[in-house]
Amino acid sequence: MIVVANNGVQENIMAQLFEFTDIKSLTLRNRFIRSATWEGMADDCGACTPQLTDFFCTLARGEVGLIITGHAYVNKAGQARPLQLGAHKDSLLPELEKMVQSVHDNGGKIALQLSHAGCYAATEITGLDVYAPSSGEHETGQIIREMTHEEIRQVVVDFSESAARAQKAGFDAVQIHAAHGYLLSQFLSPTYNKRKDEYGGDLKNRARILLEVVTSVRQAVGAEYPILIKINSEDFEEGGFTKEEMLQVAISLEKAGVDAMELSGGTRNSGRNIPFRLGRLDNEEDEVYYREAAKLYKEKISVPLILVGGFRSYSVAEMLVTERLTDYVSLSRPLVREPDLIQRWKAGDKRKATCISCNLCYKPALEGKGIRCVVEDALKSKQI
């Protein structure tokens, strides 16, 4: 898009952020993506609800280029949160189809994020064993069982069947969640993965299940369907997955035909470097948590990069895209507070996002009401 400035000089400032781009069969109307964010709005069986559909339609009307759903579990044992969306059975299809159609009717594009929580599965909800690459015990006393070969094979199948379901429901893409210390990220990490077989040990072995998932998903969805992946730039854990390893895995994923990679970072055990870091981002220099990793990625990898984490200012998004440090700008919490943020920026109001990164949006979701910005609610009701 070319905009005409007041002084009559043509500027193409907005050109790159608001140009149309393609990721395979997926055409995006701008370079802003809603990063996967657990909504806590599905029903107890993992089915999409009218509340969740409305939530996504609001984002679509807010002109986000691509909405990525919160993580949807590929089998019941992989459920991490209450009222989480499921992708694990055909009976979920009718509600998913209706939701996708509504998002499309509102001008949006939507990808389904596929996930398995591994050792962070919510056994109190699933009633099933907790399994992971290696055995262990949570601080809660919860025992974690090492996965058998049969379970590894089954998880690979579950990812591909869920991807096929997403495609059937009309989703524009799928995203494989291999970040944040969930199952596929646990396999990548030497702190979670102590296996002695072909799925543990060196990086090639630790990345094996992920590449099997990608290959199997590709077989299920065909050559033209976009497969995205979310991966940690690093774990920020003692002995965890490193930036150098991320680069090696990204090279393998590129060869395996992944269509875009979203770089994030951290796990539940990363202290202040958890994926959704706490703390206001008052200075532009503090924004964007994984700048350095993005630079390394762009030097080596040609698959489009989606960068998430700590974007708050339009000017920062613009700078990173024009300097080619990223291809897409992905946002989570800012869009909880302002689902129309992208529309606002496009209309010329370039003030930074009002999100203060307090993570209080989790609270109503944990209470069964779905994520929302309680700071905004309080402001509206003039309590603060």
Ligand X SMILES: Cc1cc2nc3c(=O)[nH]c(=O)nc-3n(C[C@H](O)[C@H](O)[C@H](O)COP(=O)(O)O)c2cc1C
Please report how close the Cβ of residue 64 comes to ligand X at its closest, in angstroms: 12
- Binding pattern for the stretch 259-288 against ligand X, x by CB under 6 A and - elsewhere: -----x----------xx------------
Closest CB to ligand X among residues 200, 267: 267
Please report whether residue 134 would count as binding ligand X according to CB under 6 A: no
Contact region with ligand X (CB under 6 A), list: 88-96, 172-180, 210-218, 237-245: 172-180
- CA–CA dist 76, 138 (Å, integer): 20
Q: Which amino acid is at 143?
A: I
Question: Cα dist. 138→11, 120, 128, 256 in Å?
Answer: 55, 9, 15, 34
Residue of 177, 218, 337, 372 interacting with ligand X (CB under 6 A): 177
- CA–CA dist 260, 108 (Å, integer): 19
Residue list 189-228, contact with ligand X (CB under 6 A): none
- CA–CA dist 258, 351 (Å, integer): 35
Please report how close the Cβ of residue 357 comes to ligand X at its closest, in angstroms: 6
Please report whether residue 331 would count as binding ligand X according to CB under 6 A: yes
Please report whether residue 185 would count as binding ligand X according to CB under 6 A: no
Q: First and final CA of the chain: distance in angstroms?
A: 40
Does residue 305 contact residue 297 with C-beta atoms inside 8 Å? Answer: yes
- CA–CA dist 31, 65 (Å, integer): 6
Give yes or no: 182 in active site: yes
Contact region with ligand X (CB under 6 A), list: 104-112, 161-169, 210-218, 358-366: 358-366
Does residue 118 contact residue 186 with C-beta atoms inside 8 Å? Answer: yes
Residue 380 carries which DSSP code? H
Please report how close the Cβ of residue 179 comes to ligand X at its closest, in angstroms: 6
Contact region with ligand X (CB under 6 A), list: 58-66, 186-194, 321-329, 330-338: 330-338
Please report how close the Cβ of residue 249 comes to ligand X at its closest, in angstroms: 17
Closest CB to ligand X among residues 166, 331: 331
Residue list 29-88, contact with ligand X (CB under 6 A): 35-38, 70-71
- Phi/psi at 151 (5° precision): -65, -35
Closest CB to ligand X among residues 84, 193: 84
Taking residue 282's Cβ as centre, other Cβ atoms within 10 Å add up to 11
Please report how close the Cβ of residue 236 comes to ligand X at its closest, in angstroms: 13
Residue of 362, 374, 375, 377 interacting with ligand X (CB under 6 A): 362
Question: Cα dist. 36→230, 342, 370 in Å?
Answer: 9, 16, 14
- Phi/psi at 124 (5° precision): -65, -20
Residue of 74, 132, 166, 308 interacting with ligand X (CB under 6 A): 308
Please report how close the Cβ of residue 335 comes to ligand X at its closest, in angstroms: 8
Instruction: Select which of 73, 120, 131, 182 is catalytic.
Output: 182
So which residues are the catalytic ones? 182
The binding site for ligand X (CB under 6 A) comprises 35-38, 70-71, 113, 177, 179-180, 230, 264, 275-276, 308-311, 331-334, 359, 361-362, 371
